[in-house]
């Protein structure tokens, strides 16, 4: 029983991390129909930014959240205006967007190696190993914070999308970009903002990841793939769907250790990805427009 509780808590905490990482990817895909292969690189960049802020100026990672959000947003907006904007849209843009953003990821990795070398880094604060005890299980404080953010983000996004003009514009653009121009919405501006928002969320995820484990410039590919699983599983553009999908992925992965050797549990997520794509490409919750 204690084992079950342990696993359940592990799964929930891990789901928080997966969800936080996937939101940015899902947002960009939901609105722009672009698969951001640079997502892993942005996560890595966010982690390093947080690390630099902590090491150089002693800013606690949770306090540097606004800084990382803003910096990642600006970076993402720049990425969009300089590069992504020029991509051909529609089906033909498929491989092109993948390859372009993959190129961006490689460049980010290179920058990481040049600036920070390949050494592994961590952020160590006084509370890095602190944990809260619950039902005989210990939950690391950092992970609880990630979980909290994983819950707050969809709420925040939901409010943004439903209660603000910008949100309405984003939803409109996601549904039918052509008609939006007719009603006076600057589609390119919305795309820029959305892309920036997506990368901001990715950067935030990176910062949070840096408080939990060590990382180096090669970091991000595993996280990217898990994010894919969450986005695809959760259905196109549904934020709450993604949160639920993250939970499902985490539960399956975590409880797999009961039946699989620990090493093979690493393959579970990838197998799920393939299965979902093949069996239900619309995701577990069907195709739904952003909301």
Partner 1 sequence: MIGRVPRRGVAAYAGVVALVAAVPVVFPVSPYTHNLLTFAFLMIAGSLAWNWMGGFVGQVSFGHATMFGIGGFVAARLILSGALPAPLAWIAAGLVAGVVALGAHPMLRLRGPYFSIATIGVGEASRVIFTYWEGFTGGSSGLSLPIDPILKYQLYWWGLGLAGLVGGASWLLRRSTLGLQLLAIKADVEAAADVGVSATFYQDLIFCLSGAVVGLTGGLYASYFAYIEPSDLFGFDRSIGFVLMAVIGGLGTVFGPILGAVVFVLLRQNLLASYPELYLGLYGGLLIVIILFEPLGLTGLGLRLARRVRRAREGRRS
Partner 2 sequence: MTNHSRVLFFIAAALGATTAPACKPKAAARAEKDAIVIGATLPLTGSEARIGGFFKEGYELAFEELNRKGGLDVGGKKVKVRLTLLDDTSTQTTAVSLADRLINSDGVDFLLGTYGTNVVEAQSTVAEQNSIPYVTGGGAATAIYKRGYKWIFGTLAPVELLGTTLMTWIAEQQAAGKLPKPAKIALVWENTSHGKDFRKGISDFAEKSGGAFQVVVDESFELNGKDFSPLLGKVKAAGADMFLADAHLPDYITMHRQYVAAGLCHKILSYGARGSEKAAIDALGQENVTYILSGVWWNSQLADKIPQSKLFADAYHAKYGAKNPEWFQALAYETARALFTAIEQAGSTDREAVRAKLASMKIPSLLPGGTLEFPAATGAQVQNPFVLQQNTPEGKAPIIYPKEIATGEGIAPDPRCAK
Residues forming contacts to partner 2 in the complex (CB under 8 A) are: 2-3, 6-7, 10, 13-14, 17, 113, 117-120, 122, 124, 128-131, 133, 138-141, 143, 209, 212-216, 218, 222-223, 253-257, 261-263, 265-266
Listed in sequence order, the residues at least 6 apart from 22 whose beta carbon sits closer than 8 Å to its beta carbon are 226, 227, 230, 231, 234, 242, 245, 246
103 interacts with partner 1 by CB under 8 A: yes
In b/e form, how buried is each residue of 21-46, taking b as 16+ CB within 10 angstroms?
bbbbbbbbbbbbbbbbbbbbbbbbbb
Secondary structure of residue 123 in the 3-state scheme: coil
Q: Residue 134: beta bridge partners?
A: 137
Indicate the residue among 199 and 254 with the shorter CB distance to partner 2: 254
- 87 near partner 1, judged by CB under 8 A: yes
* CA distance linking residue 196 with residue 18, whole number of Å: 20
Residue 281 in contact with partner 1, rule: CB under 8 A: yes
Measured from the CB atom, is 108 or 144 closer to partner 1?
Answer: 108
Distance CA 71, CA 78 (A): 11
**Does residue 270 interact with partner 1 by CB under 8 A?**
yes
Q: How far is the CB of 57 from partner 1 (least distance, A)?
A: 27
Q: Binding residues for partner 1, per CB under 8 A?
A: 35, 83, 86-87, 91, 94-100, 102-111, 113-114, 221, 225, 228-229, 232, 261, 263-264, 266-267, 270-271, 273-274, 277-278, 281
């Amino acid at each position: 029983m204690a084992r079950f509780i342990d696993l359940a808590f592990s799964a929930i905490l891990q789901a928080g991390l997966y969800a936080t990482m996937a939101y940015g990817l899902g947002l960009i895909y939901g609105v722009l129909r672009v698969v951001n292969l640079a997502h892993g690189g942005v996560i890595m960049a966010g982690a390093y930014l947080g690390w630099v802020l902590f090491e150089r100026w002693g800013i606690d990672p949770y306090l540097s959240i606004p800084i990382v959000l803003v910096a990642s947003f600006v970076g993402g907006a720049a990425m969009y205006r300089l590069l992504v904007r020029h991509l051909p849209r529609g089906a033909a843009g498929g491989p092109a967007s993948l390859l372009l953003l993959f190129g961006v990821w490689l460049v980010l990795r290179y920058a990481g190696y040049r600036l920070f070398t390949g050494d592994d880094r961590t952020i160590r604060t006084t509370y890095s190993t602190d944990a809260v005890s619950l039902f005989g299980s210990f939950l690391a404080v950092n992970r609880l914070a990630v979980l909290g953010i994983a819950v707050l983000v969809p709420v925040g996004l939901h409010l943004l999308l439903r209660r603000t003009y910008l949100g309405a514009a984003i939803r409109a653009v996601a549904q039918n970009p052509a008609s939006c121009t007719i009603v006076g919405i600057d589609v390119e501006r919305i795309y820029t903002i959305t892309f920036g928002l997506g990368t901001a969320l990715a950067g935030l995820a990176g910062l949070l990841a840096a408080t939990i484990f060590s990382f180096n410039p090669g970091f991000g590919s595993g996280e990217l793939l898990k994010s894919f699983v969450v986005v695809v599983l959760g259905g196109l553009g549904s934020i709450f769907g993604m949160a639920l999908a993250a939970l499902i992925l985490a539960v399956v992965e975590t409880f797999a250790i009961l039946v699989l050797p620990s090493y093979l549990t690493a393959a579970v997520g990838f197998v799920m990805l393939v299965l979902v794509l093949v069996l239900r490409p619309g995701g577990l919750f069907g195709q739904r427009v952003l909301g």
